[in-house]
Structure 1
């Protein structure tokens, strides 16, 4: 099974369904679309000032460096050259 590493608090947001889109610099192979992937919380936090409470996840523990759940990879689109939706 494939895994996606995401920094907290965004990893929790994906697992709990409050973040439904993850922007990446590389595209995903069509053979992976529709599959379940593991969500791995990175050891380092995201460098933004966004908190779990900002993402309506005040109840979520701040787990890092571990698999914290799963998600279904349902689509992928190319980022706009002007930077829209780019990581």
Structure 2
């Protein structure tokens, strides 16, 4: 798995190459939460597909909202 992470204060963006990597990312976030006591707030999180035609099973996201085609989202002041 190749994962890129960008962070600023309490905002973090994680980039996964494939839907399969999403599973590993979610597992890594869970392990980090157990070790650090810090948890991902699913209600304040969103998954943004960066490639057209790539299906992501919402069940893999453990409650994190999946941005739909044509839907917009603002991250650190940038409209995605």
TM bucket normalised to smaller: under 0.3
What TM-score results when the alignment is normalised by the length of structure 2? Answer: 0.25
What TM-score results when the alignment is normalised by the length of structure 1? Answer: 0.24
Instruction: Give 1 or 2: higher helix fraction.
Output: 2
